[in-house]
């Protein structure tokens, strides 16, 4: 078993703005999987629509995550 991991390319531009989490979804209607980068407030307010079949049956997909910090471990 190999977990899915979202990696965002690091550049100077990535560090200047507000960071927005990447959410993974799976459509309960057609099974399509996709990622969305939205603010936490927007994520809590609206349920995403499947970009393939336009159904509003998105289910969250739980995956590993990567956190960048300024502290050394």
Determine the pLDDT at residue 34. 93
The CA–CA distances, whole Å, from 34 to 13, 53, 65, 70 equal: 24, 12, 16, 30
pTM above 0.85, yes or no: no
Residue pLDDT tens, the chain, 73 long: 555 666 665 555 545 455 678 889 999 999 999 998 888 788 788 888 999 999 999 998 887 767 777 766 5
Determine the pLDDT at residue 54. 95
Determine the pLDDT at residue 25. 92
């Amino acid at each position: 078993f190999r977990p899915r991991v979202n990696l965002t390319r690091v550049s100077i531009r990535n560090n200047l703005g507000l960071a927005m989490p990447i959410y993974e979804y799976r459509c309960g209607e057609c099974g399509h999987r996709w990622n969305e980068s939205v603010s936490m407030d927007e994520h809590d307010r609206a349920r995403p629509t499947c970009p393939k079949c336009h159904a509003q049956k998105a289910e969250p997909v739980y995956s590993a995550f990567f956190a960048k910090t300024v502290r050394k471990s």
